[in-house]
Amino acid sequence: MTITMRDVENIDTFGDVATLLDAIPEAVVVVTWDGQIAFANHVLEQLFGYRRGELRGLPVVCLLPEVRIGAGKGLCQRRDGSVFPAEIRRSNLLRGGSTFAVCTIHDESAHWEAEEELARRAMQDALTGLANRTLLLDRLDNALLRARRSRGSVAVLYVDIDWFKETNDLYGHAVGDTVLKHVAAVLQRAVRPSDTVARFGGDEFVVLCDPIGDVPEAHDIGRRIVSALHRPLDVDGVAIPLSASVGVGVSWGPDTSPASLLDAADISLYRAKGAGRGRCGAPVTAASSRRTSSTDRDGDHPAGHGRRS
């Protein structure tokens, strides 16, 4: 038998049931089979921001715009229009010869936020808040795919803090962490909004410039970073010397891979450090990096695996 709100008005349906539903600590709504709310307990009214009895007779879609009546998960909508994720469980209630749908709604906001936080941490460097190696490599893959389709280019910049090990040893790890966080902030200010700044580990940072117009533009960004980092950092009244070396790798043609692009930036960085540090190396294209002999690299630090001061 199908029951509507008109039928509900003529049936003393929810006397004892309403008392029971109001006593349980979960949000519960009772719905007729034409989709109207016959009863909502006090917990549900509080969860959704309605006054006592205000929901009676309203369509249930005002609460569950994204979820049909039935078991499942989806977004619920509060009286003020804000939404939240919820788990909705359904059972049937037989009263007065008629069947109602009884839905229990559990707010999943805390669970979803915890999952989002775990996902964010998996892609973020804990100290600096920057993208980590995993996220950077994922974005580099996507950037190269877009570059192939548009016949454009991207660039990767290796940023290595000069003499960081010595700074750590002399001033301690707390100061070293302060330096790393400062460098992260400077890099974010020095690059474009479309670029990604990542910490690859230790004192090594990587900037993905996506897209890049040409090789000189990538070189300009690298030199801007060197200039921004070439000034002492004041830590509790102590001037900490600071400088950085930058290597620039630029994609070249549709065959550029993430590994070859990182290799090109690594070669450029090696040359910059060999020329005296505190400078930006001449850009190296991914194509030319494949032709570079292994003797043009730092044998203790294989390309693409991070290097130390």
Active site residues per annotation? 203
Retrieve residue 268's tokens: 């450029």
**What's the rounded Cα separation, in Å, for the pair 39 and 35?**
12
Q: Measured at the alpha carbon of residue 109, what is the angle toward residues 103 and 111, in degrees to the nearest 5?
A: 100
Handedness of CA 114, 134, 251, 208 (dihedral sign): positive
Task: Report DSSP letters for 99-149, one per residue.
Answer: EEEEEEEEE-HHHHHHHHHHHHHHTB-TTT-SB-HHHHHHHHHHHHHHHHH
How many angstroms separate the CA atoms of 98 and 113, rounded?
40
Q: Are 190 and 131 in contact (CB under 8 A)?
A: no
Among the listed residues 265, 256, 245, the one whose alpha carbon sits nearest the alpha carbon of residue 308: 245
Cα(306)–Cα(108) distance, integer angstroms: 41
